[in-house]
Structure 1
Amino acid sequence: MSARSLQASPEGIEKARKALSGKALTQTALAEDKLTMVKISVSRSTIGKFFSGKSIDRQYFYEICERLGLEWDEIVLKPSEEEDLGKPLKIDTLVQQVREAIRDDIKERCGTMRILDMTHPIGLGEIYTHVNILEKILGRRRKAIPEMLEECNAADFFDRFGWGQIKEKRVPGLEAVAKHDKLMILGKPGAGKTTFSKHLAIQCNRGKFYPHLVPIFVTLKDFADAEKQPGLLDYIVGTFRHKALKTIIEQGRALILLDGLDEVREEDSQRVIKAIEGFSHRYRHNPFVITCRIAAREYTFDKFTEVEIADFDDTQIATFAGNWFKNKVVKPKTFLERLNENEPVKELASNPLLLTLLCIAFEESGEFPANRAELYKEGLDALLKKWDAKRGIQRYNPYGKLSLGRKEDLLSKIAWTTFERGDYFFKQRTAEQYITTYIRNLPGASLDEEALQLDSEKVLNSIEAQHGLLVARAKGIYSFSHLTFHEYFTAREVVTVRQSSEAALQGLVSHVADKRWREVFLLAVAMSPNADRLLLLMKEKIDGLVAEDERIQQWLTWGMEKARSVDVSYTPEDIKKTANQLGFAPKKELSLFLSLYLYFSRTLDLFLNLYRSLDFSLYHLSFSLDLFVSIYYLSPSVNLCLSRTLELSKKRDRALHHELQKLNDKLPKRKNEEELDQWWKANGKAWREQLRAVMVKYRNIGHDWQLSDEQRKLREQYWEANKFLMQCLNSECYVSREVRQEIEKTLFLPTRTVSYNAASVIP
């Protein structure tokens, strides 16, 4: 029986069978148990070996005993003193003694966490969320860009990218550690590598994971900085102040956790790597876990399996939020509701570090900051500098001329170029070309193309490893870590790098009708010290969409005239929006029409006034008739609308009332359903056309604009763009009162009535 294997004694098997029967379980059901705290899969065949008295892996042996509610040392087959001179019993006793001796030390080192702007440390158990592991490193997959787009549902861009939906198999973290004796866990900055490593130490310390081992947690940066550069064994024994640890390690009874290989200074890295290589080989009977950022070290440890920490999915985000907001004024349900309402913000929550930042920000007021650009900048600052600075970590800068500010400018240029091309994924070679183009213009840059190429490779690698803002999605294919950051840096290129120059703003507004640019516009408006010029250019570009279409211009003219004719106590701008809505309500369902109607009414009071209006009643009647082919199905609705319209017209327009009454008299008196249906099929179309003619003559509504499908699409595009312009205008941005009033006053006007002399508007 190997050092990692155990088998049950005959007496132990009998106890296990009784426990199985007492729990009303079968061996198959035991294998499928989902209720235990330690989520380690045990196959049906392994269960069978256990009950047959065959050797199985220690961890599986412990797991089966735990599921049956048995103490493992009462079930295991113990070797006789003649076979092994009592050594297993002796080492087991020593393990328990050492575990007890260093318990408080492990708790002190690993039991708490403090991130970014937390005012005080919190217990790891209070906030910890189970991690998942990807057994295939994403950046090493061989996939083409079209496959990546399909994987992320990018065909329908407004579902946005779902990195949490990547279709690689996920394995619970504890299961991955139990499966591999030597494990290298890679992850992006803030992915939770150290937190998971500490969790392993705490679980082992409590006997809930690898209860036969002693947890040893080593921060590799501290080891590298230790005086006199001791070897790993001496450092561990000295750090935990227990000489018996040497025996524990020699006997293969330690869980060695080496955290943060990427945090070791460049000048110490080779020495530390060599120390780990020698130590893990000499004491190979111990399980090892090393954590490191992706792309931070090119060295490969031969005997180690490399895996990657997966981004948080929705379940993990909800668990984390539940832990964070437990027993606080702000409730996790509120946080999750607001998060789900804001997709760009939610994308960031897949990273545990950024999720923590979101929780801290939300806890302050029970809402996310109104200015999302400021929230994103805070997240970027965390990844670019704060996360390392708070922990006293200095990263190697492979290209000294590239300061953090220059890196942001570089990322902005890459973002603008790729976003404008629609390249959400781009080849590594393309990214390196962008970097080469940028750094060759820096002071003192090399003129040698080969040297520039090598420098660009180093810069790309450092941005991925140190900040995680550009990441490898497949072999040779990169993207921004979050679409949100891609959009942020695109907006930053316009506002910060190009300083909102006329050319930059014109380049941006050329995309005003493209829905995928909306978040970029919102961010650019929010980031601008003064958004006047950008908003006016957006207005000009939107009006230009329909400037050359005479039919749509006629529709806009009608809307303007109708707005001026409505006799209610609201501004022409308010009524104009609603009048235009009456001009082309969607032919789908009345509820959609009503929701849009309400959207363009500034207040509920205005909506109710318009709802009571004669125009609305007429339009409601016409709209209801258009929805159905048979009067039988909507006769109650038609009767209600017609009665209401007759009542209103009698009070307000006697001539209109007379015409409507004549139309009403033409309708058949209610007979049987079949006769009503036949009448409507024979006369319904003509009756509706007569109603439309009356509406046009007396109320100037109900026109048939005879627009082509292309014109309808153009009008809808114009309509949506104006709605978006108002969204920008009412967002968290600085805009002068004069410009705000000018945009509101000229909204939905025909082109001939609008002047674009910005100088006369901008104060």
Structure 2
Amino acid sequence: MQSLPRDFLTQIAQKYQLSKEQEDAFVEIYHRGDDELEAAEALSISPSAFRTRMTGVYEKFQIGGRGPGKFYRLQVFLIGEYQKTGQKLLPEKSSTEIYIQTLVKEVREFVASSICERCGKMRVLDMEQPIGLASIYTSVNILEKVTGRRRLEIADLFERYGVEDFERFGLTPIHEKRIDGLEAVAQHEKLIVLGKPGAGKTTFLKRLAMLCVEQQFQANRVPIFITLKAFAETPGKPSLWEYLPRSFAPHQTTNPPAGLSNKLQAILEEGQALILLDGLDEVRDVDSQRIINEIQKFATQFHLNQFVMTCRIAAREYTFEQFTEVEVADFDENQILDFVTKWFTTKQDPVKAETFIQKLETDERIRELATNPLLLTLLCLVFEDAADFPTNRSELYEEGLDVLLKKWDAKRNIERDQVYKKLSRQRKEDLLSYLAYTFFERGEYFFKQRVAIDRIIQFIRNAPNMSQDDKNLELDGVAVLKSIEAQHGLLLERARGIYSFSHLTFQEYFTARQIKEQRSDALLEDLASHVTEKRWREVFLLTLGMLPDATRLLQLMKAQADQILAGNFKLQQFLNWVMQKSNSVDVPYKLGAVRAFYLKLALAHDRTLAHDLDLDRTLAHDLYLDRTLAQDLDLDRALAQDLAQALDNNNFFFGFKSNGIDDSMTTHFPNYDFAQALDYNILFVGFKFNDSNLQHKLTELRNLLPHISWRNCEQCETWWKANGQAWTKQLRSIMIEHRNIGHDWQFSQEQKEQLQQYYDANKLLVDCMNSECYVSPEVRKEIEETLLLPIAEIEKRQQP
């Protein structure tokens, strides 16, 4: 069809006052000729949206009627207008172009049923039935730089992944530039998409096929989807060209058009095919070189076509000079949200999607696993059944590892290399446990390839059916490392020659498994020695969940926690006060919980400690201390808040706030100032606690305060600067005399750090006892009764 210059068409569009959208459609279609689909794709809009724009165009030119006649009537008018300028018309499309377009349309319609059958649905893991790909598909992001090819040092990785403060590093670092998967394909005619197991490579390729056959992406091409494993194992070892017609046959519902081979050849020679080659890593070793040669020969012969091929990272050393390599990025938070919402929408249970996301937001370790699409699918399946994640996290991790270590390849009948197959499933887990523990113990989350290989060699020297020759052993060590990465994705090359576990969660799990499998008291003692270290917390919880009897480990943890303050006389005095004060109140709680309450209360006015000793996470509540406190505890808490507020000079006259100590009082006095809060406490003492002497002293002290309002704020500040220190001292004296609280311990910075360690260790101990682990009733009772006691008291109770 006749084509008109863009400049001329733009001038006409402006003359007839077309809108921007109408102008874009008008210029595109009359410059191209009559290819509506190509014009719509060029504008990145649907054919329906394009037609809507053109309807407006015809109205502006006052061209009525229906059907294609409007297009041609307007074209005749435009040609006439152009001829008036004295310029020559652009040449019409050749008959060859029209012929190829006709072939593309015919063959695309023929392959549509095959593509829809093979690529339109998804069924993985234990899904009971397939699910429509379009209803669940989440857009893929691509890293243009393959992570394992970067030349970085371990220090650089720590900085990029932010683990200096022991943050999680399962997510792709935000420093890496991401682009949309479709954009990456559009930018590169020949693309190899690399990715970890379960990263969504095949799903992405299937989505490309569906978009193409539906003319929503590369609408001028025919999608050809080839599973390379099936091609490699086809009897007779056909060439890739010979295999093309066969790739449609098993799923075809219509008879092939006459002369299909000739038509395919014409389409390929004109570069009008989207060649999708899935799973290069799934090809057996015996077929590998033949298939590589076939792909290279085919890509050279038909180089004008678009090629996209998928392969696992580290599968083999491939060299495709014509192809650009990119990597599938982990899911980010938006992709996770999109996937989960779509998943449960298809299950007609959107409420469960909201619950799932809420659970994910509060659990960083499960959130870390969700960055892998396959593991996210597993999480959705688990949550679908139980509406929650298992309390014993080791069970969930075991299921995830079972998917990566066994099910994912087995369900697709994929066989991997022989070196790694010499290790049984049990041996593989033993190897991963050995590596995880040896690196985690040293705080090594990233490690050199050479070091990893040495440790693998040490392990396989003691494994049966493995070669013992040192040279072969070293080669086997390299093969095993690469196999773990390629087959299971549990170890990843984060930069050239530097590895880590794919998720810190899995390194923690295998570290705990090593401790459990070795059944060594020395290992339990070593684990207990880390009771004050935050990075070991999850290992403790996982180990306890795995052990058939956690009694011994809990005893060792308790002993370590007790020793933290054992050598400091002043801190032992403090614990003595905690014990005595707890014994003096008559409340219906376990003494361990009461001691936890008073330990927190005594430290709450120190803002450096109060921040960490947040009441919502204190030992007291973990030990089942009611939020509705008994009167003694409630009064002591209220008075302690008064003292803490008085000590906080900066905020004293700016409304009563809890400063992170506890928010219970604000439920009584939202936005009320300190004096009003003190009035409440005076009433509380008189009516609930019936202590007239204390009430009288607090009233006298309250009357010393000036009337506080925003109008006399400066006067109040002046008064406080002159009298605040003495006033606070009186309040402290009253609290010590009547309630034995409010002591000024004046801890040094070192002592504060020791107290924080002591608190954290005991918090971990209680969390472990409250987890799903078995501990003998006698030991549980003993631990609860001796929590937070001074060391002398503990030793006294241990005497026969």
Same fold (TM over 0.5): yes
- From 740, 754, 757, the equivalent of 2:794 is 754
In the alignment, is the contact (CA less than 8 A) between 1:621 and 1:642 conserved in 2? no
In the alignment, is the contact (CA less than 8 A) between 2:653 and 2:708 conserved in 1? no
Q: Specify the alignment match of 2:84 in structure 1.
A: none
Does residue 314 of structure 2 align to residue 335 of structure 1?
A: no
Amino acid at match of 1:115: V
Amino acid at match of 1:693: S
Counterparts of 1:569 and 1:139, CA distance in 2: 60
Give % identity.
47
Amino acid at match of 1:62: E
Q: What per-residue deviation string (whole Å, max 9, x for no partner) do you get for residues 303-358 of structure 1? A: 11111111111111111111101022643222111111100110111111001001
- The alignment's TM-score, normalised by the length of structure 1, stands at 0.88
Does residue 82 of structure 2 align to residue 87 of structure 1?
A: no
Q: Specify the alignment match of 2:20 in structure 1.
A: 24
Counterparts of 2:502 and 2:17, CA distance in 1: 51
Q: Specify the alignment match of 1:681 in structure 2.
A: 721
Q: Specify the alignment match of 1:234 in structure 2.
A: 242
After superposition, the Cα gap between the structure-2 partners of 1:591 and 1:200, relative to the gap in structure 1 and judged at 3 Å, is closer
Counterparts of 2:651 and 2:247, CA distance in 1: 86
Q: Which structure 2 residues correspond to residues 119-518 of structure 1 after superposition, within 5 A? A: 119-157=128-166, 159-161=167-169, 163-241=171-249, 242=256, 243=260, 244-326=263-345, 327-328=348-349, 330-443=351-464, 445-496=466-517, 498-499=518-519, 501-518=520-537
Instruction: Report how far residue 15 of structure 1 moved.
Output: 8.2
Q: Specify the alignment match of 2:121 in structure 1.
A: 112
After superposition, the Cα gap between the structure-2 partners of 1:308 and 1:631, relative to the gap in structure 1 and judged at 3 Å, is closer
After superposition, the Cα gap between the structure-2 partners of 1:673 and 1:116, relative to the gap in structure 1 and judged at 3 Å, is closer
In the alignment, is the contact (CA less than 8 A) between 2:460 and 2:466 conserved in 1? yes
Instruction: Report how far residue 141 of structure 1 moved.
Output: 0.7
Q: Specify the alignment match of 2:681 in structure 1.
A: 644
After superposition, the Cα gap between the structure-2 partners of 1:64 and 1:577, relative to the gap in structure 1 and judged at 3 Å, is same
In the alignment, is the contact (CA less than 8 A) between 1:618 and 1:645 conserved in 2? no
Amino acid at match of 1:199: R
Instruction: Report how far residue 382 of structure 1 moved.
Output: 0.5
After superposition, the Cα gap between the structure-2 partners of 1:660 and 1:289, relative to the gap in structure 1 and judged at 3 Å, is closer
Counterparts of 1:726 and 1:218, CA distance in 2: 56
- From 703, 707, 711, the equivalent of 2:747 is 707
In the alignment, is the contact (CA less than 8 A) between 1:622 and 1:692 conserved in 2? yes
- From 717, 737, 741, the equivalent of 1:697 is 737
Higher mean alpha-carbon deviation, 185-194 vs 573-582, is at 573-582
Aligned residues between the structures: 732
Instruction: Report how far residue 540 of structure 1 moved.
Output: 1.0
In the alignment, is the contact (CA less than 8 A) between 1:610 and 1:616 conserved in 2? no
Higher mean alpha-carbon deviation, 604-613 vs 512-521, is at 604-613
Counterparts of 1:718 and 1:290, CA distance in 2: 55
Q: Which structure 2 residues correspond to residues 622-661 of structure 1 after superposition, within 5 A? A: 622-628=643-649, 636-641=673-678, 644-645=681-682, 648=685, 652-657=690-695, 659-660=697-698
Counterparts of 2:2 and 2:741, CA distance in 1: 87
Instruction: Report how far residue 735 of structure 1 moved.
Output: 2.4
After superposition, the Cα gap between the structure-2 partners of 1:679 and 1:130, relative to the gap in structure 1 and judged at 3 Å, is closer
Counterparts of 1:430 and 1:48, CA distance in 2: 62
Q: Specify the alignment match of 1:519 in structure 2.
A: 538
- The DSSP-based 3-state class of the residue aligned with 1:754 is helix
Q: Specify the alignment match of 2:670 in structure 1.
A: none
- The DSSP-based 3-state class of the residue aligned with 2:587 is coil
Counterparts of 2:134 and 2:149, CA distance in 1: 33
Higher mean alpha-carbon deviation, 68-77 vs 199-208, is at 68-77
Counterparts of 2:573 and 2:496, CA distance in 1: 55
Alpha carbon RMSD of aligned pairs, Å?
3.6
Amino acid at match of 1:298: E
Q: Specify the alignment match of 2:42 in structure 1.
A: 63
Amino acid at match of 2:119: C
- The DSSP-based 3-state class of the residue aligned with 1:125 is helix
Q: Specify the alignment match of 2:64 in structure 1.
A: none
Counterparts of 2:328 and 2:316, CA distance in 1: 16
In the alignment, is the contact (CA less than 8 A) between 1:186 and 1:308 conserved in 2? yes
Q: What per-residue deviation string (whole Å, max 9, x for no partner) do you get for residues 711-737 of structure 1? A: 011112111221121111112222232
After superposition, the Cα gap between the structure-2 partners of 1:335 and 1:633, relative to the gap in structure 1 and judged at 3 Å, is closer
Instruction: Report how far residue 514 of structure 1 moved.
Output: 0.5
In the alignment, is the contact (CA less than 8 A) between 2:3 and 2:90 conserved in 1? no
Counterparts of 1:758 and 1:267, CA distance in 2: 68
- From 546, 559, 569, the equivalent of 2:578 is 559
Unmatched tracts of structure 2, length 5 or more: 55-67, 80-87, 250-255, 657-672
After superposition, the Cα gap between the structure-2 partners of 1:286 and 1:559, relative to the gap in structure 1 and judged at 3 Å, is same
- The DSSP-based 3-state class of the residue aligned with 1:164 is coil
In the alignment, is the contact (CA less than 8 A) between 1:254 and 1:286 conserved in 2? yes
Counterparts of 1:597 and 1:483, CA distance in 2: 24
Instruction: Report how far residue 385 of structure 1 moved.
Output: 0.7
In the alignment, is the contact (CA less than 8 A) between 2:618 and 2:763 conserved in 1? no
Counterparts of 1:371 and 1:7, CA distance in 2: 71
Amino acid at match of 2:129: H
- The DSSP-based 3-state class of the residue aligned with 1:165 is coil
Q: Specify the alignment match of 2:5 in structure 1.
A: 10
Instruction: Report how far residue 237 of structure 1 moved.
Output: 1.3
Does residue 597 of structure 2 align to residue 578 of structure 1?
A: yes
In the alignment, is the contact (CA less than 8 A) between 1:188 and 1:293 conserved in 2? yes
In the alignment, is the contact (CA less than 8 A) between 1:130 and 1:173 conserved in 2? yes
Higher mean alpha-carbon deviation, 663-672 vs 343-352, is at 663-672
After superposition, the Cα gap between the structure-2 partners of 1:273 and 1:571, relative to the gap in structure 1 and judged at 3 Å, is same
Q: Specify the alignment match of 1:719 in structure 2.
A: 759
Counterparts of 1:303 and 1:7, CA distance in 2: 36
Instruction: Report how far residue 296 of structure 1 moved.
Output: 0.8
Instruction: Report how far residue 653 of structure 1 moved.
Output: 3.8
Counterparts of 2:320 and 2:708, CA distance in 1: 88
- The DSSP-based 3-state class of the residue aligned with 1:325 is helix
Instruction: Report how far residue 677 of structure 1 moved.
Output: 4.3
Instruction: Report how far residue 493 of structure 1 moved.
Output: 1.0
Amino acid at match of 1:752: A
Counterparts of 1:716 and 1:7, CA distance in 2: 81
Q: What per-residue deviation string (whole Å, max 9, x for no partner) do you get for residues 201-255 of structure 1? A: 1111111111111111111111111111111111111332542333332332211
Amino acid at match of 2:492: V
Amino acid at match of 1:300: T
Instruction: Report how far residue 11 of structure 1 moved.
Output: 8.1
Q: What per-residue deviation string (whole Å, max 9, x for no partner) do you get for residues 433-483 of structure 1? A: 111111122235444433222111111111111111111111111111111
Higher mean alpha-carbon deviation, 676-685 vs 694-703, is at 676-685
Amino acid at match of 1:202: M
- The DSSP-based 3-state class of the residue aligned with 2:678 is helix
Counterparts of 1:212 and 1:60, CA distance in 2: 11
Higher mean alpha-carbon deviation, 628-637 vs 719-728, is at 628-637
Instruction: Report how far residue 669 of structure 1 moved.
Output: 7.9
After superposition, the Cα gap between the structure-2 partners of 1:144 and 1:438, relative to the gap in structure 1 and judged at 3 Å, is same
Higher mean alpha-carbon deviation, 748-757 vs 544-553, is at 748-757
Q: Which structure 2 residues correspond to residues 30-49 of structure 1 after superposition, within 5 A? A: none
Counterparts of 1:16 and 1:609, CA distance in 2: 85
Counterparts of 1:7 and 1:367, CA distance in 2: 63
Higher mean alpha-carbon deviation, 658-667 vs 513-522, is at 658-667
Counterparts of 1:634 and 1:574, CA distance in 2: 31
Counterparts of 1:385 and 1:67, CA distance in 2: 42
Q: What per-residue deviation string (whole Å, max 9, x for no partner) do you get for residues 652-705 of structure 1? A: 445545554554565568897666544433333223223322322332111122
In the alignment, is the contact (CA less than 8 A) between 1:630 and 1:681 conserved in 2? no
